[in-house]
Amino acid sequence: MNDGKPQVAPAVFGGTHSVVGGEGLRQRAQDQPDLERWMRQCIGLARVAKERGDPPVGCVIVRDGAVVAEGIEAGRTKGDVTCHAEVEAIRAARRLLGRADLSDCTLVTTHEPCILCSYVIRHHRIARVVLGLETGEIGGYSSALPVLADTTIKR
């Protein structure tokens, strides 16, 4: 069960970090090939973002072993600072699944979600986040404001 208090786990593969809650810690080893495939898909989406002039960030949301939504960074092209890849993927997942509770989903992204995206992830109760690169001072789990790991936030 996702209680909104994710745990930070060691690297899953090749430098990729995983922020997981509950049962996710035990599932890491068995889903490594899938995580690599999903991360490659994210990298492809990041290339699309870069080609159109946006920062190179791509994201997918996975449910029951299948990608249900994709997100491509689009803040510059859409003229909307909230169009981060993670938020775009969450919007798409909500449309497809018809619900706000994404607690049975995993979010995979090329870059550590920023503070804004991290709150959106928690709001939608996403159980697991897998990231490729840490972003430091603006990151939602490696910065001084670790929204993904903060136990005082109830969501």
**Is 36 marked active-site?**
no
User: How far apart (Å, rounded) are the C-alpha atoms in residues 137 and 33?
Assistant: 30
The residue from 73, 86, 88, 112 that is catalytic is 86
The HSE-up count of residue 154 (CA atoms within 13 Å, CB side) is 0
Residue positions counted in the chain: 155
Please, what is the Cα angle at 32 between 27 and 34, to 5 degrees?
105
6: DSSP letter = P
Q: Which residue has the tokens 């699944």?
A: 97
User: How far apart (Å, rounded) are the C-alpha atoms in residues 70 and 85?
Assistant: 8
What is the set of active-site residues? 86
